[in-house]
Structure 1
Amino acid sequence: MEEKKKLQDVSRQNSSIEARVLTVEETERLKKDDVLVSEFKQNKLEKEAKKNWDLFYKRNSTNFFKDRHWISREFAELLSGASEKVEPSERLTLLEVGCGVGNLVFPILKENPLLFAYACDFSPRAVQFVKENEDYKPDRIKAFQCDLTEDDLMEEIPPESVDLVTMVFVLSAIHPDKMLSSIQNISSVLKPGGMVLFRDYGLNDHAMLRFSKGHKLADSFYVRQDGTRAFFFSLVFLAKLFSDAGFEVAANEYVLRETVNKKEGLCVPRVFVQGKFFKKG
């Protein structure tokens, strides 16, 4: 019961300041979707989270996500020192959490030839795909399996040794009760003054409104058909989360996009949250 109350409190904290105003129809649809997944099933989903993500990568292999070439346009910090002559010991060190099959880390390694990257994922299968990539070079990248909510990152990475951390559509897959401890885990390997570069789903994103009845875990928190989960962030909730973990908010905003499906003649509104968070020195 205590866990259920914590989740309800988190959901209420997240329900403020929307990126876009819903239509009357959308508002009514959300109001009617008031039956939550049973506590038994929610506990089962938490226990089987790793298995569900591993099955996701078994089904989709390396073909599901496109390479994220946009990442350096949004976060120029990743190219710091790319054209400068620096000693190997001074090169930029990145940690990508939730690396998947490498759609972010490999493009950025090509763009910044002086970057060294740690890459971890919840799914052992995803990590194996990274290691099997022809661009995987041990002198440029170290990949490993990790559960951010339980495993100590310092078992793989020296404490306070990382300059930048990318969290791109990762935190939303973690149970809200475990988000704070996950960020604190990341903080343990980030240098004072180091930065987390963040992007994820925003409140009232089209993906949130597409869930049918029977998939709601709590306000802003849903389970997909395949057992993976998604949380949709408000800026207030995100800022508080990082502040509570000892970070300073440098940037925190909604990013509004439209996805066009020409085949079906649809244009749907997407809402993302994007931020930069400094670890206090």
Structure 2
Amino acid sequence: MSASDEADPPGPVPRESPATIRSPGAGDGAPVSEFRRRKLEEDAQKNWDLFYKRNTTNFYKDRHWTTREFAELKACREFEAQRLVLLEAGCGVGNCIFPLLEEDLNIFVYACDFSPRAVDFVKQNPLFSTERCLAFQCDLTKDDLKASVPSETVDVVTLIFVLSAIHPDKMKQALENIYQVLKPGGVVLFRDYGLHDHAMLRFKPGNKLAENFYARQDGTRSFFFSREFLENLFRQVGYEPVVNEYVQRETVNKKEGLCVPRVFLQSKFRRPMK
């Protein structure tokens, strides 16, 4: 397994029930030892830092699809001249933020990531400007976002293929942290792995850490969300669900002659108005 099986959609994708997806059989087998579980949790930041050391900025494609998939990035302004304030939680090397900064000149981005190396790559990008972006290292499960982002000032938070990398027991803490900097009425735009995605089916026995939570060979981890689990998680923190849909499509690997099912969750949650 690579550190991500993320696939960026090439165009509009069908939104269907995942009922047609077969139940995964791989990845179960003998349970992972408690020692390995603890070690993976302790080394989570190191393993992601090593991932970016190996792959630098070459692993992910720039996400030019975000404004198409998430109309709120353009439509949430109260007036045309409003400067949009965005938090990219889990920014990686900037594959989402730099296309946004190029496309929208009236936007300011707070960009944080678990990996210090990833943040350094963001700062080294020729498009990076301190006038339009503040990049900083942050563990969303324990560091206070308000140390870098003023309370209740963010219009939109993007949480794209990020929450799945966090231990399920700590996901609520991350969402509570984000909640504190989001404006009342502000939204979280979410996209991540859905239950029974092909990446889940590919795990070999001995990699299952917990229900729907798996370890990759490089030590990074991935959780696969059901719609019910995700909605309940956000509701516990106080968010209101607006949209919470499965995105189902197929990825074709012409070289290997494979056609594999991909299942994602694409969702929007709002912090209620006071």
Please report the TM-score for the alignment, with normalisation by the length of structure 1: 0.88
Q: What CA distance in whole angstroms lies between the structure 2 residues aligned with 1:245 and 1:177?
A: 14
5+ residue gaps, structure 2: 1-16
Maintained 8 Å contact 1:20/1:204: no
How many residue pairs get aligned? The number is 256
Could you tell me which amino acid in structure 1 is paired with residue 111 of structure 2?
A
Could you tell me which amino acid in structure 2 is paired with residue 21 of structure 1?
T
Q: Deviations over 1:189-232 (max 9, x none)?
A: 00000000000000000000000011110121000000000000
Q: CA RMSD in A?
A: 1.5
Q: Deviations over 1:5-43 (max 9, x none)?
A: xxxxxxxxxxxxx713344xx55x34x824221111101
Could you tell me which amino acid in structure 1 is paired with residue 49 of structure 2?
D
Q: Deviations over 1:20-69 (max 9, x none)?
A: 3344xx55x34x82422111110110010000000000000000000000
Higher helix share: 1
Could you tell me which amino acid in structure 2 is paired with residue 172 of structure 1?
S
Could you tell me which amino acid in structure 2 is paired with residue 100 of structure 1?
G
Could you tell me which amino acid in structure 2 is paired with residue 201 of structure 1?
Y
- Between stretches 212-221 and 62-71, larger displacement belongs to 212-221
Written as runs of structure 1 = structure 2, the 5 A alignment for 1:1-281 is 19-23=18-22, 27=24, 29-30=25-26, 33-80=28-75, 86=81, 90-281=82-273
Q: Deviations over 1:51-109 (max 9, x none)?
A: 00000000000000000000000111112489x752xxx41100001100000000011
Q: Deviations over 1:105-147 (max 9, x none)?
A: 0001111110100000000000000000000011111100000
Q: What CA distance in whole angstroms lies between the structure 2 residues aligned with 1:80 and 1:141?
A: 21
Please report the TM-score for the alignment, with normalisation by the length of structure 2: 0.90
Q: What CA distance in whole angstroms lies between the structure 2 residues aligned with 1:229 and 1:197?
A: 22
Larger Rg: 1
Maintained 8 Å contact 2:29/2:206: no
SS of 1:33 mapped into structure 2: coil
5+ residue gaps, structure 1: 1-17
